[in-house]
Amino acid sequence: MGANGNQLRGRFSWTVDCRAVDKPLYEFEFRTASSSCGEEQAVSIVVPIQIDYSNAPPALTTTFPPLVSTDSVTVIRLPLGGIYEAALSGLDTDNDPLALMAEGRGFELAAAGMSFVPRNGTGTATATFRWVADCQAVRPEALSVVFTLRETTCRPQPRRRVVRFEVMAPEERPFQPVNIITPNGDSRNDVFTLDNTKSNLPPDFCDFRFANLQIFTRWGNRIYQTTNRTFSWDGGGQPAGAYFYLIEFTNGKKYRGAVTIAR
């Protein structure tokens, strides 16, 4: 501020940032005063400044299946070994900086066979998502991923999409093993085996695998045991009669039945 005769000059400047958008109108009072013969004379002027700020939310589009409702969750199911890919894009009419991100709820994406590659920018952003349905993704809890489009502005309005991913367990067909063998060397029903399409032994699935098979006499004596899924039992020289088997899987599932040796 400087004085020139009876004049005073000053400069006022205000850099408007995001702290100012909470109020639509600011009023600044400028005042000058002078003293003459011991009496103060003052003049003031009020200058209103209106904050002009608006923000349209960005738009998030994806190649995920369309939502049934605004609060629904998309579910992607794949068989073991399946691959799913999706593209995401963001657009902002205000041309604000945009960023796409993906976050697993309670898990790291890479630990579940997932990858997310964003390409962020001003006004636009794109990303690619890929999931390989491997055994790492087979978990008791659901694999939910939150995809978010964020904008850098004073009052951001992020857009979100939640997608749940599941690995489909193999279909279990009715368990119908053979119940009689005739180990007489004619190559017909000579052995008791379950690893074939007719017996429909449940397939191994990640940590849920064939554990063992045991065969007992009617008195409970174990006469055969194996951890080999492709076992083949020819009766082991046991006499004709009924025998009982127990099959266990690593997930605790059990199958019981009887097989008869006819000679």
Q: Are residues 66 and 116 in the same domain?
A: yes
Domain count, the chain: 3
Residue written as token pair 């790492």: 136
**Considering the domain boundaries, does residue 131 fall inside one?**
yes
| Residue 140 CB-density burial (10 A; 0-12 exposed, 13-18 middle, 19+ buried) | exposed
Same domain for 193 and 210? yes
The domain of 162 spans 59-168
pLDDT at 201: 82
Residue 108 maps to a domain: yes
Domain boundary among 10, 28, 50: 50
163 and 81 share a domain?
Answer: yes
At residue 73, the pLDDT reads 86
Residue 35 lies in a domain: yes
Contact 168, 138 (CB under 8 A): no
Same domain (yes/no): 12, 94: no
Domain boundary among 111, 144, 168: 168
First to last CA, the chain: 118
Q: What's the CATH number where 226 sits? A: 2.60.40
Residue 67 · residue 157 · CB < 8 Å: no
Domain with residue 108: its CATH number is 2.60.40.10
Question: Do 148 and 100 meet the contact criterion of CB atoms below 8 Å apart?
Answer: yes
Distance from C-alpha of 191 to C-alpha of 214, rounded to nearest angstrom: 15
Domain co-membership, 82 together with 30 = no
Q: Please indicate, yes or no, if residue 9 is contained in any of the structural domains.
A: yes
Residue 175 placed within a domain? no
Residue 189 and residue 149 share a domain: no
Compute the residue count for the chain. 263
Instruction: Tell me, yes or no, whether 161 and 185 share the same domain.
Output: no
Same-domain status, 185 and 164: no
Tens-digit pLDDT string for the chain (263 aa)? 445 556 778 889 999 999 998 888 999 998 888 777 767 788 899 999 999 888 999 999 999 999 888 778 899 999 999 999 999 999 999 999 999 999 999 999 999 999 999 999 999 999 999 999 999 999 888 899 999 999 999 999 999 999 999 999 888 778 888 889 998 888 888 999 987 666 678 888 898 899 999 999 999 999 999 999 989 999 999 999 999 999 999 989 999 999 999 98
The pLDDT assigned to 5 comes to 55
In a domain, 222, yes or no: yes
The answer to whether residues 127 and 158 belong to one domain is yes
Residue 174 lies in a domain: no
- Of the residues 168, 197, 227, which one is the last residue of a structural domain? 168
**Residue 87 is assigned to a structural domain of this protein:** yes
How many secondary structure helices (H) and strands (E) does the chain include?
Answer: 0, 18
